[in-house]
Amino acid sequence: MATDVDRENLSKALQSAGFLSCDLRVLAESRDPFLAELALRLLRSAGDIERKLSRLLALAGGPSGTS
């Protein structure tokens, strides 16, 4: 069973993954095609991480601790 601290840490990790995805989206628009391609690849991975963290948080009962 996830504790309140676990849920809080999951919530923070999800928020950080969201920030990462946002920054990578901007970087993917770079005029440098090599940099843009690398950013797109990383963005896919960041999206996967974001979705997995979101599922974990939902299973843990969300940030408020209610199930």
Would you state the pLDDT for residue 6? Answer: 94
Has residue 14 been placed in a domain? yes
Q: Residue 66: its pLDDT value, please?
A: 44
| Alpha-carbon gap, residue 52 to 64, rounded angstroms | 19
Give residue 62's pLDDT: 75
In a domain, 44, yes or no: yes
In this structure, is residue 16 part of a structural domain? yes
In a domain, 28, yes or no: yes
Asked whether residue 65 is domain-assigned, the answer is no
Task: Tell whether 64 is covered by a domain.
Answer: no
pTM for the full model?
Answer: 0.82
The residue range of the domain holding 8 is 4-59
Domains in the chain: how many in total?
1
Low-confidence ranges of the chain (pLDDT < 70): 63-67
Nearest partner of 44 among 64, 24, 60, 58, judged by Cα: 24
